[in-house]
């Protein structure tokens, strides 16, 4: 440890969607690393400790080191040449970088999609179908006397969700914290989150929709046949008890995870939980919220929505945004073999997409921007190494409840940030597209955003 | 386009400078209107054209968390109305809640160059400013929602008036807002905390505090601090039969102090709660006509698709009960909430026709166009894209009669609309769409064409069909730069943020901070919005700054 | 001996900490190739802690290391794995028009790998 130590208070952790902004970072400026992250959870501690300065080149083409400028030129040429270029990722970068990525898609008439499509994309579709009664997390802290988690495991994925926002904190109308709340967990297995709950309800895999629909019926006073237990693993008495709790609470909340969106039913499951929440508002105040994942996936939804009108899976091929999940979403454009060039920003689809999609990635020119080397950067034609948001750069991130927060930088990185690279690519693709169309306009006169 | 420009041969409409259709040159240099420019300035020949200041929208919903939620909610709204890009402009989508780019460009295609977002939660200010950065061409600002702010209400309950005033100023500074907004003051807590109930009376106390006390405190505080635009008020009981009494009481609460009442059409209903309303437009406009301290915008309803989006969350829930449509509710910690749902106004429905007719009554019975401003409460009463049609309804009695004949006659019979022959002149239209809102906002450089004004100028072909005329300006100039020429985009422009920075005692932060630590989930030091979100901006001075 | 079971890829906190080190690092590769299985099921299949099992379906196959969980924590017939390259091998690319591949509750055939080859 050197003498050159800096403390950064109220820094923001962007590892998960909790986006806790109460970090106190101890930074060794000589060694360029964070040696302590006070208030961080186990995931946050790893996030801050492991994001040191790497030893790989800023830019590589086919595995060989090149200058940043050469890589930008090659990227622009590749994207403009392609007939069906796709841009994907964006959940682990700033809104400022996301804005540039959408602009590139607009200019090259490409397709843009975010990791939303493989996490809560189905919840986005359900939202478009039925709407949602929801809240900022502080309302849960201040008011919620009934907290239900469904198909999510915050203890592993969002460790401070319980302690900072939803279960243990004391709030304005919850003076005794945990004691004033009833906590319920619904899942197919007893996850590490189960010990937090007063009540654990185990559902048979793939039967969430049936349970949710039965709850809607019970809330509306309809009869449910006891055979529901055989079908779903949950007894009628358990459901009736849960309905009773829900109708009689003062402020209830249903959080749900990818246990609903990634399985049989997908958007129907999310829609059922949103509709159940709406139904309950006839009796009391009730809200719901998907427990979103990566640091700024919620920002990606917001930026795409305000720039295009649609939250993910957007195609500009006709010169204006079109939205069609299943057609313009990334698993599909890759699995079908439509994409003929891909730029992956701050995500690693090569390590978690379906096999067929990964196989197609290997056949097309891929451009990657990431802070670390990944399966995706390994197969990339052009690979940029960028600095880490919230550690080396400021900028804006959105918490899972759409609350925007400005990050503080802890120490400088020799690597450029995503926004810088994407802005340079944007300028270059604009020049190339105009040259191709014979349009003579100086960059800066037009399309100022 | 050179930095100097001369518009020649146009007929000027500039009510602030008492110019009513006179042919006169306008000179522009470095984004401002000036007395003269050199002979080599670029010329625009406006022969046969009408020259007006750029339009100013005093009340619309165009950016921020609730607007974006409404965008996400309605792909169907966008799909039937794409907004292709041009070499100069980004693409987007339209509908009742357009994307940010489409919003800026579409305002420009109507000749509007300034618009004020009317309801932003403090915690959503950063988001709103981010969207503003992507809303091109127009200058813009927003009103910050403070009327249901729990901390401020606690100060009022405890009679801590000076700290209340300091805290209001702190909040306006921290969010980069233009003024304060009250929406259904006192109604959030019953909604969130008492099983979806609401306040029903301006004097009904909730936990010792009535809506009237909240309204009075904000009107007085904002006037004391000399904000360029007064407290902007969405009254209690919006949309309910018999609510005109609440509206009158709200205006009486102001006494002779300045206050702006938003979308008064929605607050001018007679009749009994739970039954069909009738029109009390005459009573409401009579009060406005005789009280020069009051400004208002009408909130006209236009038939067709709309989107309800309001910080009046209980109202949105009531409407959801009527339509059974998809519904969004968002509770915002310690500050506010909002409700969103798709809506459509239909000619054959009594209520919708009555709303349409009341709006027109208010316009046609207004005696002071400077204070009764054109709005549709976009997108609540309909899209801002319907302003040209609304202008035609006001300017063209024959067209109005045709439209009246196509709607619910029972509703029309409850209004005085058939007896109102008035036709607005171009001069009056210039007032209700430009000069009036600029004056009500205290924007001294906008709404007119005199030297020193921002060179935000619209040039229309003069046509008999006013809807067609106002739908397609031939030229739009923003800050001295031609954005539209011969109906085509020929440039792009960022537009700037309009905000105020009222003075406050920094010690108030020590009073606010403990509340944050207990009840907010964002750190106090991360709450105030930094200047980096302003980009191009203008601080409009308060009376106390001068 | 082989049986059909339900594979549930998900997140784990170990995976979360490992991925910060780097997704190509041994920690991450280890955590994403460790399969949690009901201990009674393991016994029935003749598996011991640390044994290799092959998971396969019509999409593909992968070999992972198994680890026992108490029956009350993990129901019989359900397998948990931290998602990653091995689970990708078993995921179908069809999203049924939603953009989301079925990533949880994937039916797989589980069989013991007799030769320890990883």
- Give chain B's radius of gyration (CA, Å): 22
Listed by start position, the domains of chain A span 5-48, 54-118+295-437, 121-290
Beta partners for residue A34, in sequence order: A27
Q: Which structure tokens are listed for A198?
A: 């007063």
The answer to whether the CB atoms of A449 and B133 lie below 8 A apart is: yes
CB-based contact A38:A421 (threshold 8 Å)? no
Chain C: give the shortest CA distance to residue A444, in Å: 36
Confidence of residue C118 (pLDDT cuts 50, 70, 90): very low
ipTM score of the complex? 0.97
Give the model confidence (pLDDT) of B379-389 as tens digits. 999 999 999 99
- Give chain A's radius of gyration (CA, Å): 23
Length of chain C counted residue by residue: 118
Listed by start position, the domains of chain C span 2-112
Chain C: give the shortest CA distance to residue A158, in Å: 9
Confidence of residue A441 (pLDDT cuts 50, 70, 90): confident
In chain C, positions 54-73, which contact chain A (CB-CB < 8 Å)? Answer: 59-60, 72-73
Question: b vs e for B420-448, b when ≥16 Cβ sit within 10 Å of the residue's Cβ?
Answer: beeebebbbbbbbbbbbbbbbbbbbbbbb
Of A316, A319, A405, the CB nearest to B522: A405
The answer to whether the CB atoms of C98 and A156 lie below 8 A apart is: no
Helices A95-108 and A297-308 cross at an angle (nearest 10°) of 40
Count the neighbouring beta carbons within 10 Å of the beta carbon of residue B204: 16
Confidence of residue C116 (pLDDT cuts 50, 70, 90): low
Q: Please choose, from the candidates B462, B532, B459, B465, the residue with its C-alpha nearest in 3D space to the C-alpha of residue B113.
A: B459
> What is the DSSP annotation of A350-367?
GGTS-HHHHHHHTTS-EE
Going by C-beta distance under 8 Å and a sequence separation of 6 or more, which residues neighbour residue B284? B244, B247, B248, B264, B267, B268, B362
| Nearest chain A alpha carbon to B495 | A448
Of C10, C17, C23, the CB nearest to A43: C17
**What is the number of alpha carbons within 13 Å of residue B351 lying toward its C-beta?**
14
Give the model confidence (pLDDT) of C60-82 as tens digits. 999 999 999 999 999 999 999 99
Which pLDDT value is given to residue B1? 43
DSSP-based three-state secondary structure for B14: strand
Cα A203 to its chain centre, rounded Å, is 26
* Whole-angstrom distance, CA of residue B180 vs CA of residue A268: 41
C115 has a pLDDT exceeding 70:
no
* Whole-angstrom distance, CA of residue B20 vs CA of residue A446: 35
Give percent of chain A above pLDDT 70: 99
Give the model confidence (pLDDT) of B436-488 as tens digits. 999 999 999 999 999 999 999 999 999 999 999 999 999 999 999 999 999 99
Which pLDDT value is given to residue A447? 72
CATH class of A54-118+295-437: alpha beta
* Whole-angstrom distance, CA of residue B241 vs CA of residue B239: 7
> What is the DSSP annotation of B211-254?
HHHHHHHHHHHHHHTT-SS--EEE-TTTT-TTTHHHHHHHHHHH
Give the sign of the dihedral formed by CA A218, CA A224, CA A227, CA A228. Answer: negative
* Whole-angstrom distance, CA of residue A88 vs CA of residue A73: 20
Residue of A205, A232, A389 for testing the chain C interface, max C β-carbons within 10 Å: A205
- Give chain C's radius of gyration (CA, Å): 14
Q: Which structure tokens are listed for A324?
A: 């069609």
The answer to whether the CB atoms of B79 and A434 lie below 8 A apart is: no
Which pLDDT value is given to residue A185? 98
Give the model confidence (pLDDT) of A354-379 as tens digits. 999 999 999 999 999 999 999 999 99
Residue of C88, C99, C106 for testing the chain A interface, max A β-carbons within 10 Å: C99
Confidence of residue A449 (pLDDT cuts 50, 70, 90): low
Provide the mean pLDDT of chain A. Answer: 96
Which pLDDT value is given to residue C66? 95
Of A135, A285, A311, the CB nearest to B330: A135
Going by C-beta distance under 8 Å and a sequence separation of 6 or more, which residues neighbour residue A193? A149, A152, A153, A154, A155, A156, A162, A185, A187
Q: Which chain A residues are closer than 8 Å to C92 by Cβ?
A: 354, 356
Which pLDDT value is given to residue B374? 98
Cα A344 to its chain centre, rounded Å, is 15
Element (H, E) at A49: helix A42-50
Q: Is A391 on the interface with C (CB under 8 A)?
A: no
Give the model confidence (pLDDT) of B254-306 as tens digits. 999 999 999 999 999 999 988 999 999 999 999 999 999 999 999 999 999 99
* Whole-angstrom distance, CA of residue B78 vs CA of residue B83: 9
Q: Which chain C residues are closer than 8 Å to A259 by Cβ?
A: 10, 104
Which pLDDT value is given to residue A169? 97
Mean pLDDT of B497-513: 97
The answer to whether the CB atoms of B99 and A396 lie below 8 A apart is: no
Give the sign of the dihedral formed by CA A243, CA A247, CA A248, CA A252. Answer: positive
| Nearest chain B alpha carbon to A271 | B326
CB-based contact A233:A203 (threshold 8 Å)? yes
| Nearest chain C alpha carbon to A330 | C99
Which pLDDT value is given to residue A446? 72
DSSP-based three-state secondary structure for B470: helix
The answer to whether the CB atoms of B71 and A305 lie below 8 A apart is: yes
CATH number of B54-448: 3.20.20
Fold (CATH) for C2-112: Barwin-like endoglucanases (2.40.40)
Q: Is A357 on the interface with C (CB under 8 A)?
A: yes
B30 has a pLDDT exceeding 70:
yes
A181 has a pLDDT exceeding 80:
yes
Mean pLDDT of B6-31: 97
Confidence of residue B22 (pLDDT cuts 50, 70, 90): very high
The answer to whether the CB atoms of B519 and A308 lie below 8 A apart is: no
| Nearest chain A alpha carbon to B195 | A284
Residue with token string 């046969």: B48
Q: Which chain B residues are closer than 8 Å to A278 by Cβ?
A: 327
* Whole-angstrom distance, CA of residue B357 vs CA of residue B265: 9
**What is the number of alpha carbons within 13 Å of residue C26 lying toward its C-beta?**
0
Give percent of chain B above pLDDT 70: 99
CATH class of A121-290: alpha beta
Residue with token string 């700024």: A296
Characterize the bridge pairing of strands A23-28 and A33-38. antiparallel
Mean pLDDT of B195-209: 94
* Whole-angstrom distance, CA of residue B238 vs CA of residue B498: 28
Task: List the subunits that have 3+ CB pairs under 8 angstroms with C.
Answer: A
Q: For every residue of B500-542, which 3-state class applies, written as one string?
A: CCCCCCCCHHHHHHHHHHHHCCCCHHHCCCCHHHCCCEEECCC
Give the model confidence (pLDDT) of A223-245 as tens digits. 999 999 999 999 999 999 999 99
Chain A: give the shortest CA distance to residue C51, in Å: 23
Confidence of residue A294 (pLDDT cuts 50, 70, 90): confident
* Whole-angstrom distance, CA of residue A137 vs CA of residue B331: 9
Going by C-beta distance under 8 Å and a sequence separation of 6 or more, which residues neighbour residue C58? C92
Provide the mean pLDDT of chain B. Answer: 97
* Whole-angstrom distance, CA of residue A311 vs CA of residue A298: 10
The answer to whether the CB atoms of C21 and A50 lie below 8 A apart is: yes
* Whole-angstrom distance, CA of residue C82 vs CA of residue C36: 9
Among A120-134, A377-391, B393-407, C2-16, the least confident range:
C2-16
CB-based contact B167:B152 (threshold 8 Å)? yes
* Whole-angstrom distance, CA of residue A417 vs CA of residue C34: 34
Length of chain B counted residue by residue: 546
Element (H, E) at A404: strand A404-406
CB-based contact B445:B139 (threshold 8 Å)? no
Q: Is the peptide bond before B379 cis (omega within 30 degrees of 0)?
A: yes
Q: Which structure tokens are listed for B45?
A: 């020949």
In chain A, positions 40-69, which contact chain C (CB-CB < 8 Å)? Answer: 42-43, 45-47, 49-51
Mean pLDDT of B164-181: 98
Chain C: give the shortest CA distance to residue A447, in Å: 30
| Nearest chain B alpha carbon to A430 | B87
First to last CA, chain B: 35
First to last CA, chain A: 44
B2 has a pLDDT exceeding 60:
no
B96 has a pLDDT exceeding 60:
yes
Q: Please choose, from the candidates A446, C115, A100, C78, the residue with its C-alpha nearest in 3D space to the C-alpha of residue B491.
A: A446
Give the model confidence (pLDDT) of A23-82 as tens digits. 999 999 999 999 999 999 999 999 999 999 999 999 999 999 999 999 999 999 999 999
CB-based contact A410:A8 (threshold 8 Å)? yes
Which pLDDT value is given to residue A3? 86
* Whole-angstrom distance, CA of residue A192 vs CA of residue A178: 18
């Amino acid at each position: 440890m050197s003498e050159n130590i800096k403390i950064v208070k109220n820094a923001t952790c962007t590892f998960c969607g909790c986006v806790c902004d109460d970090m106190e970072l101890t930074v060794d400026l000589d060694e360029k690393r964070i040696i302590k992250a006070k208030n961080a959870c186990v995931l946050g501690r790893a996030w801050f400790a492991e994001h040191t300065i790497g030893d790989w080149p800023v830019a590589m083409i086919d595995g060989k080191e090149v200058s940043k400028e050469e890589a930008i030129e090659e990227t622009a040429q590749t994207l403009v040449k392609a007939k069906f270029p796709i841009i994907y990722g964006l959940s682990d970068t700033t809104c400022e970088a996301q804005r540039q990525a959408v602009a590139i898609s607009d200019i090259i008439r490409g397709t843009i999609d975010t990791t939303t499509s493989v996490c809560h994309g189905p919840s986005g579709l359900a939202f478009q179908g039925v709407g949602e009664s929801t809240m900022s997390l502080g309302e849960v802290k201040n008011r919620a006397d009934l907290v239900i988690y469904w198909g999510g495991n915050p203890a592993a994925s969002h460790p401070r969700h319980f302690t900072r926002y939803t279960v243990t904190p004391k709030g304005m109308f919850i003076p005794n914290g945990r004691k004033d709340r009833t906590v319920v967990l619904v899942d197919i297995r007893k996850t590490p989150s189960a010990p937090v709950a007063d009540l654990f309800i185990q559902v048979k895999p793939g039967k969430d929709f049936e349970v949710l629909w039965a709850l809607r019926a019970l809330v509306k006073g309809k009869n449910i046949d006891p055979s529901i237990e055989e079908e779903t693993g949950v007894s009628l008495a358990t459901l009736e008890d849960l309905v009773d709790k829900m109708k009689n609470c003062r402020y209830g909340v249903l959080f749900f995870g990818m246990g609903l969106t990634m399985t049989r039913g997908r958007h129907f499951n999310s829609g059922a939980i949103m509709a159940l929440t709406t139904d309950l508002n006839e009796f009391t105040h009730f809200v719901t919220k998907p427990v979103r994942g990566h640091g700024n996936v919620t920002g990606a939804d917001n930026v795409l929505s305000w720039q295009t009108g649609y939250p993910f899976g957007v195609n500009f091929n006709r010169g204006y945004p079109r939205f069609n999940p299943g057609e313009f979403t990334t698993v599909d454009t890759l699995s079908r073999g439509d994409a003929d060039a891909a730029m992956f920003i701050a995500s690693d689809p090569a390590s978690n997409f379906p096999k067929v999609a990964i196989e197609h990635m290997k056949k097309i020119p891929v451009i990657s921007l990431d802070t670390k080397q990944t399966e995706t950067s390994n197969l990339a034609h052009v690979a940029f190494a960028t600095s880490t948001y919230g550690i080396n750069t400021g900028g804006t991130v959105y918490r899972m409840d759409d609350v925007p927060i400005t990050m503080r930088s802890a120490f400088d990185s020799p690597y450029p940030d995503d926004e810088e690279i994407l802005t340079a690519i944007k300028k270059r693709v604009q020049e190339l597209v105009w040259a191709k169309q014979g349009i003579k306009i100086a960059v800066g006169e037009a399309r100022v955003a | 386009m050179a930095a100097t420009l001369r518009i020649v041969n146009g007929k000027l409409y500039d009510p602030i400078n008492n110019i009513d259709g006179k042919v006169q040159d306008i000179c522009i240099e470095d984004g401002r209107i000036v007395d003269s420019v050199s002979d080599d300035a670029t010329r625009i020949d406006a022969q046969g054209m009408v020259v007006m200041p750029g339009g100013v929208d005093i009340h619309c919903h165009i950016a921020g968390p609730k607007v974006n939620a409404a965008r996400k909610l309605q792909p169907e709204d966008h799909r039937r109305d794409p907004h292709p890009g041009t070499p100069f402009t980004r693409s987007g989508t339209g509908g009742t809640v357009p994307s940010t780019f489409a919003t800026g460009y579409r305002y420009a295609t109507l000749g509007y160059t300034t618009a004020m977002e009317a309801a932003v939660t403090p915690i959503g200010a950063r988001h709103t400013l981010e969207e503003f950065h992507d809303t091109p061409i127009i200058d813009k600002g927003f009103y910050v929602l403070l009327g249901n702010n729990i901390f401020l209400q606690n100060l009022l309950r405890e009679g801590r008036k000076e700290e209340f005033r300091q805290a209001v100023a702190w909040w306006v500074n921290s969010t980069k807002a233009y003024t304060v907004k009250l929406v259904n003051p006192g109604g959030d807590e019953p909604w969130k905390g008492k099983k979806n109930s609401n306040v029903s009376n301006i004097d009904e106390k909730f936990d010792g505090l009535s809506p009237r006390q909240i309204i009075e405190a904000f009107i007085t505080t904002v006037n004391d601090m000399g904000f360029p635009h007064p407290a902007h008020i969405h009254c209690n009981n919006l949309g309910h039969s018999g609510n005109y009494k609440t509206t009158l009481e709200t205006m009486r609460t102001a006494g002779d102090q300045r206050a702006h009442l938003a979308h008064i059409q929605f607050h001018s209903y007679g009749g009994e709660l739970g039954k069909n309303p009738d029109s009390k437009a005459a009573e409401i406009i009579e009060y406005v006509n005789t009280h020069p301290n009051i400004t208002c915008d009408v909130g006209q309803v236009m038939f067709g698709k709309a989107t309800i989006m309001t910080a009046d969350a209980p109202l949105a829930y009531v409407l959801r009960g009527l339509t059974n449509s998809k519904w969004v509710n968002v509770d915002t910690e310690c500050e506010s909430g909002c409700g969103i749902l798709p809506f459509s106004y239909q000619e054959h429905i009594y209520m919708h026709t009555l709303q349409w007719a009341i709006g027109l009554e208010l316009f046609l019975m207004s005696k002071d166009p400077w204070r009764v401003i054109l709005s549709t409460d976009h997108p609540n009463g309909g899209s801002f894209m319907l302003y040209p049609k609304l202008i035609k309804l006001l300017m063209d009695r024959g067209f109005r009669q045709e439209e009246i004949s196509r709607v619910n006659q029972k509703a029309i019979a409850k209004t005085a609309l058939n007896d109102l022959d008035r036709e607005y002149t171009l001069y009056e239209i210039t007032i209700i769409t430009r000069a009036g809102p600029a004056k009500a906002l205290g924007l001294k450089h906008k709404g007119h064409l005199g030297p020193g004004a921002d060179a935000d100028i619209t040039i229309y072909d003069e046509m008999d069909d006013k809807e067609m005329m106002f739908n397609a300006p031939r030229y739009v100039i923003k800050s001295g730069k031609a954005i539209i020429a011969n109906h085509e985009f020929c440039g792009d422009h960022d537009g700037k943020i309009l905000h105020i920075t009222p003075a406050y005692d920094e010690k108030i932060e020590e009073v606010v901070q403990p509340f944050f630590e207990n009840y907010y989930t964002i750190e106090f030091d991360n709450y105030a919005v930094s200047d980096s979100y302003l980009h191009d901006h203008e601080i409009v001075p308060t009376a106390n700054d001068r | 001996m082989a049986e059909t079971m339900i594979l549930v890829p998900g997140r784990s906190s170990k995976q979360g900490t490992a991925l910060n080190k780097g997704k190509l690092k041994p920690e991450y590769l280890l955590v994403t190739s460790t399969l949690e299985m009901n201990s009674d099921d393991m016994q029935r299949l003749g598996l011991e802690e640390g044994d290799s099992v092959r998971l396969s379906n019509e999409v593909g196959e992968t070999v992972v290391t198994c680890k026992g969980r108490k029956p009350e924590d993990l129901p019989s017939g359900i397998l948990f794995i931290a998602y990653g390259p091995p689970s990708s091998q078993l995921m179908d690319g069809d999203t049924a028009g939603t953009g989301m591949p079925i990533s949880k509750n994937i039916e797989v055939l589980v069989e013991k790998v007799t030769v320890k080859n990883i």
